[in-house]
Amino acid sequence: MLMLLNTPYALSLSRSLASSSFPSPPTRRLLSISSTFALPPPRFPHSSLVSSRVSPSFRTQASAATSTMGDAPDVGMDAVQRRLMFEDECILVDESDNVVGHESKYNCHLWEKILTGKMLHRAFSVFLFNTKYELLLQQRSATKVTFPLVWTNTCCSHPLYRESELISENHLGVRNAAQRKLLDELGIPAEDVPVDQFVPLSRMLYKAPSDGKWGEHELDYLLFIVRDVNVHPNPDEVAEAKYVNRDQLKELLRKADAGEDGLKLSPWFRLVVDNFLFKWWDHVEKGTLKEVSDMETIHKL
């Protein structure tokens, strides 16, 4: 027991101690991962049964109190997705794919703005096959603003309004963007997917709502590539990734159509599946993809 005598010094010390505040020790945050991969994630080009799952505990969370964007719209949005929505500038195009301007990813995906007809923007969809001719699919993260937790093709995103991704010659800008996003979303190193290995097969124009607030209106470049790659999914972008063969994809389609297990497919992926994918898959296996490339046509679906 500590006793203080009733002296001027003791009283002064007592008042000083009573008015002092001591910081609490910092709280240590623990991260965990749930994955069918052993760590570090292995190379998995040769099995249709391999999948990668990521735990939501890895996802960065944001709050209005700590946001650097103050009172900007949608302060409750996941921090990573919010940054991308406000900082990324999409390439606005007309229906002939001529560049007409640029706009934030946020505005490009607001359904009320899409309905004005002024938010059509350039996009790409990558279909990556391993050397067993299995297609790599991903399930979008739960924190994605548009189409969360839907299954889709390997990678779907946008070239940005920047010099390296505006190059029109040989569609190099879109290829550069595809290489960038495969790294961002799936951790696939650039050396695994050289830009000259992407085969642009066609373009399609489509519009699709996500929910009452968000949607898509895109002129989408369809890029195919056959490579064995290292995959390390980014949990802010991808909930799960797996290879499928034709029969396994058909089973996914059946489940989606039947509403089993809450399984949903992205609208752009379903358009490609229904109109192109299986006939192009034949050319993937034959090594004749370039024979069916048609970049002059823009399919309005």
CA distances from 165 to 82, 102, 124, 196, 295 (A): 22, 13, 12, 14, 17
Burial of 153 per CB tally in 10 Å (0-12, 13-18, 19+): buried
Supply 41's token pair: 């994630």
On whether the CB atoms of residues 77 and 62 are closer than 8 A, the answer is yes
Which one is catalytic: 134, 185, 216, 218? 218
- CB atoms closer than 10 angstroms to residue 92: 20
> What is the sign, positive or negative, of the torsion defined by CA atoms of 97, 101, 105, 107?
negative
Active site residue 237: no
The span from the CA of 253 to the CA of 86, in Å, is 34
3-state secondary structure of 208: strand
Active site residue 155: no
Which one is catalytic: 89, 156, 165, 237? 156
The span from the CA of 139 to the CA of 53, in Å, is 9
Catalytic residues: 156, 218
